[in-house]
Amino acid sequence: MKIRVGQGYDVHRQGKGEELWLGGIKFEHTHGLIGHSDADVLIHAICDAILGAANMRDIGFHFADTDPQYKGIDSKILLKDVMELVRKEGWELGNIDCTIVAEKPKINPHIPAMKNCLADVMSVDEDDISIKATTSERMGFVGREEGMAVHAVALIQKA
């Protein structure tokens, strides 16, 4: 059996009054994330991890932030498209492991809903998705609440 591992990392700036989408779920919060799409930093890191594992470049290569068709797009659509791309090449997801780095809001209460949403979009079992959350102990751009970051690792295998 052939397996591969990919790593994804994404950051987005925070802005007052912006919507906050993480893992396909809308959070109620005073600050959201700024981006060309809906700025779902979790989904973007997952896409990069999966694409990287399949040696298919990154999310920006497939869905350029200069392309007007992706302006404001729901990142769940991008994730679904990524899964179709890698499946066409004969790959299937083994699992993903993600860490969201954010000071606020509290992420842990929303993890079950995010896992459920992502599993549905990706057509995988919730058990194949691990989401963790941490802060940066008030250090750096995350600590100053200027942005959020996500680290993701994906394991894929030939179907």
Binding positions: 10-12, 36-37, 44, 58-60, 63-67, 134-137, 141, 144
Place of tokens 């990154």: 58
Alpha-carbon distance of 111 to 131, in angstroms, equals 7
Residue 74 tokens, joined: 């729901």
Cα 126 from Cα 36, distance rounded (Å): 28
Task: Give the Cα separation of 2 and 33 in Å (integer).
Answer: 37
Quick one: 94 exposed, middle or buried, by C-beta within 10 A (0-12, 13-18, 19+)? middle
**Which residues is 9 bridged to in the sheet?**
151
Instruction: Give the annotated binding-site residues for a divalent metal cation.
Output: 10, 12, 44
By C-alpha distance, which of 128, 39, 56 is closest to 91? Answer: 56
Report DSSP state, residue 153.
E
Tokens standing for residue 37: 């799409």
